[in-house]
Structure 1
Amino acid sequence: MEKFEMIKKLGSGAFGAVFAARHKQTGEVVAIKKLNQRCSSLQQCLSLPEVQSLSKLNHPNIVRLKSVVAEYESAFFVFEYMHSSLLDLIEKKRQTGFTEDEIRNICYQMFQGLAYMHKTGYFHRDMKPENVLVKEGAVKIGDLGSTKEINSPPPYTDYIGTIWYRAPEVLLRSDRYCPKVDMWAIGAIMAELFSLQPLFPGRSDADQIFKICSVIGRPTLGSWRNGFLLAHKMNYQFPQIDGVGLSAMIPSASESAIKLISSLCSWDPSARPTAADALKHPFFIGSHRIPRAIPLRQSNILPASNSSLLFV
C-alpha cells in the first residue's frame, strides 16, 4: 500500500473503513477499503465473497474493483473512486428535490446493474442509498460484501440488509429468499427519491412490518400465503390496519411511477418484477435521457506481486 497516499476517510462500519487515496506515480484517485477481518494471505483475500463476485461482475453500473492487496495480515480492496453516494445526493436535494427525469435516470441505471448481477448468478442483499454510488451522472452499485450466489444452497442468514430496505420475507425470517429481495429494496429507494424520506423507517423487525402495513396495507391469505406460514412459525400476527397508499406518501410521483413502485413493493416476492422486466416498464418508455449500457470491457486478472492482484 506504499504506492498510495491517503487523502481522507470516507466512512467506516462493522466491515472496516474506506479511504480516498491517490496513487503516487499516476496521480489517480481511488477508494481503498480496509477490512477488519484478518487476512493472512492473498489467497485468503481472493476467497472472500466480495472479491469472488466482483471478479465476475463487469458492468458499467457496478463499481469496479481495480486490485486486491494483502499486507500486514489485512485485506485492502482498491476500487474506482466515486464522488458520492445516493444518500449524499438525497441530502443535497433536500431543498429542490429530484425531477422525475432525474429519478428515471438513476433508477434505470440501478436496474441495469441489478439485471446484469442477477443474470450472472448473484444477488446483492444490501441495496440502500449508501450503497449506490454516483459520479458525473453515472450510477453504480457498490458494497458487494453481502452478495450471494443465487444457486447457493439455503439456509440463508435472516439479518441481511438495512432494516428500512429489508424485504418482508426476510423480516419474517425466511431462510430461502431470492433476488426479489433486491427488487423490494429498489422500490423503497425509488420512493425515497420522490419524497426524500425513507418509505418504511422502522425501528425493529416488528415495527418495520407495521410501517409497511401502514403504507401498502396488510397482506391477505390470498395475496401472500407463504407470508402467513412464515408469520405462524414466529407466532406473529399482521396488524389489522389499512394502508394509506403509495400515492399519499409520494404525491409528486406520476401514475406510472406509482405502479412500478407498487409492483416492486409487493408482499409476495413472486409478484415483484425482475430487474430485466422493470427496465421494460412504461415508466421508462419514451424517455430520451436514459443512458444505455456501454460495451463491457474484457476483464483479466493479472498478478502484480506476491501480495496483490490487478483486475484490468
Structure 2
Amino acid sequence: MGAPRSPGGARASDDDARGRPSAPDELKNYEKLGRIGEGTYGVVYKARCRATNEIVALKRVRMDRERDGMPLTSLREIKILQRCAHENVISLKRVIQGETPSNVFLVFEYCEHEMARLIDFVKTKFTTSEVKSLMMQTLRAVEYLHERKVFHRDLKLSNLLLNQRGELKLCDFGLARTYDPIEAGIYTPKVVTLWYRAPELLFGEEQYTAAIDMWSCGCVFAEFLKHAPLFPASTEIELMQMICALLGNPNSNIWPGWDSLPHAKSFKFPEQPYNFLELNFPSLSPAGVDLLDGLLTYDPGKRLTAKEALAHEYFKEMPPPKSPAEMPTFPSTHNTSSSRSRRAAEDNDRSKRQRGALDDRIAAVF
C-alpha cells in the first residue's frame, strides 16, 4: 500500500509515520513575516511554518473579483504546477484554506529575489559567466515545460526568482496552459506582458506555438546583458517600432505569410532593413549575438527552441557558465522599490483588465 495522503491531497511523509511534525495544511500554522509583493491575482507573503520552521512564500488567491469560486488563472496554475518537478520551476508545496472558503493560499518555496528588482537594485552588471548561468537555468525551465506540452505565456524578468543558492526559478503560471504540438490550437493572442510579447501575437495570430516563450527568452537574455529592458514600450505600436528599429522590418522573405496575419496591416513600418543586434551588444561574442538573433527571429517556425538554445555554441565557449553555487549572493530585494518593475506590472495589469472580459467568455474553451 502507498503512504497515506494528507487532507490537502499530498502524500504524507516518512516523518508523519514516525510521529514527527510534518508541514501543516492549515493557515494558522504559518506565521506571516512580511509582504513580498502584490499582483493582479493575489498578495504574496514571506512566512514561517510553525511546525517545521521552514521559510515559505504564501500567495493569497484574490477572490474579490470572482462570483463562481477560484479564478481560472489560479486553477490553471495549481493544475500545471502539481505536474511539475524541476529545479528551475517554482515548487508548489500545498494549497490551504484560510478562515473562510474564499480565503485560499498557495504555499511555495521561498526565493530571496525577483530578478527584475535584483537587476534594478544591483548596479554592477552580471559577468558573462553569470549571464550564461542565469540564461541556461531559464532555458532549462522552458525546455522542461515544452517537453510536457506546456507553454508559459508570461515569461518575463519579474517571473524569474533567484534564491541564495544561485538557483533560478520560473514562477507565475496563471497564463500557462497545455497545447498540442501537432494539431495547432486556437488561443487568445492577448497574452505575455507587453515588453516580452512576440511579433506574431502583436499581429493577432491565434494559432501560435511555444515559440512565443522563446521570443520572451530572447528579451530576458538581452535584459541580463543590458541590466535594462530591451523593448520598454507603452503600446503595441511603440513596441513594434522598437523591434523594427533593432531588427529591421518583417518581410515575406524572412517570414513567409506574416502579412496575412489579422493585424499586420495595422502597423506602418519605417524603412529599416538592417539588424543592429551586433552594434547594440558590442561586448557580446559573435556566438552570443547569434544566440540572441536566433531567439529574436521574426518567423516563429525558425526561432530557436529551448533545446536548440541550450546546445548553442555560446554556452560552450569561454568563459564557462558559473554553477549556481558559485553565483554571487545579495541582500533580499523583496522590500526594495523598482520603477521598472512597477511599469511592467502596470502594463500587465492593463493587459489583463483588457482581456478580462474576453477570457471570461472563452475560458471554458481556451
Instruction: Identify which of 276, 287, 296 aligns with 1:245.
Output: 276
Residue in structure 1 matched with residue 107 of structure 2 by the alignment? 78
Residue in structure 1 matched with residue 127 of structure 2 by the alignment? 99
The residue type paired with residue 25 of structure 1 is: A
Provide structure 2 residue ranges, at least 5 long, that are not aligned to the other structure.
Answer: 1-26, 325-366
With over 3 angstroms needed to count, the CA separation of the structure-2 counterparts of 1:31 and 1:214, relative to structure 1, is same
Contact 2:73 2:174 in 1 (8 A): no
Report 1:18-167 matches (<5 A): 18-37=44-63, 38=66, 48-71=75-98, 72=100, 73-94=102-123, 96-135=124-163, 136-151=165-180, 154-167=185-198
1:171-219 deviations in whole A, cap 9, x for unaligned? 1111111111111001011111111111111110111111000001101
The residue type paired with residue 105 of structure 2 is: F
Partner of 1:219, secondary structure, is coil
Instruction: Identify which of 226, 230, 241 aligns with 2:257.
Output: 226
Residue in structure 1 matched with residue 224 of structure 2 by the alignment? 193
Instruction: Report the Cα distance in structure 1 between the residues aligned to 2:116 and 2:264, rounded to whole angstroms.
Output: 36
Partner of 2:62, secondary structure, is strand
Residue in structure 2 matched with residue 258 of structure 1 by the alignment? 289
TM-score scaled by structure 1?
A: 0.86
Instruction: Report the Cα distance in structure 2 between the residues aligned to 1:231 and 1:257, rounded to whole angstroms.
Output: 33
Contact 1:195 1:249 in 2 (8 A): no
With over 3 angstroms needed to count, the CA separation of the structure-2 counterparts of 1:242 and 1:202, relative to structure 1, is farther
Contact 1:84 1:133 in 2 (8 A): yes
Question: What is the root-mean-square deviation of aligned Cα atoms in Å?
Answer: 2.3
Contact 2:258 2:264 in 1 (8 A): no
Partner of 1:268, secondary structure, is coil
With over 3 angstroms needed to count, the CA separation of the structure-2 counterparts of 1:258 and 1:233, relative to structure 1, is closer
Q: After TM superposition, give the deviation of residue 13 of structure 1 in Å.
A: 1.6
With over 3 angstroms needed to count, the CA separation of the structure-2 counterparts of 1:284 and 1:67, relative to structure 1, is same
Which structure's residues are more often strand, by fraction? 1
The residue type paired with residue 55 of structure 2 is: V
Q: Larger radius of gyration, structure 1 or 2?
A: 2
Which consecutive segments of 4 or more residues in structure 1 shift more than 6 A? 39-42, 44-47
Residue in structure 2 matched with residue 310 of structure 1 by the alignment? none
Provide structure 1 residue ranges, at least 5 long, that are not aligned to the other structure.
Answer: 293-312
1:99-150 deviations in whole A, cap 9, x for unaligned? 1110000001111111111001101111111001101210111111111102
Instruction: Report the Cα distance in structure 1 between the residues aligned to 2:232 and 2:187, rounded to whole angstroms.
Output: 24
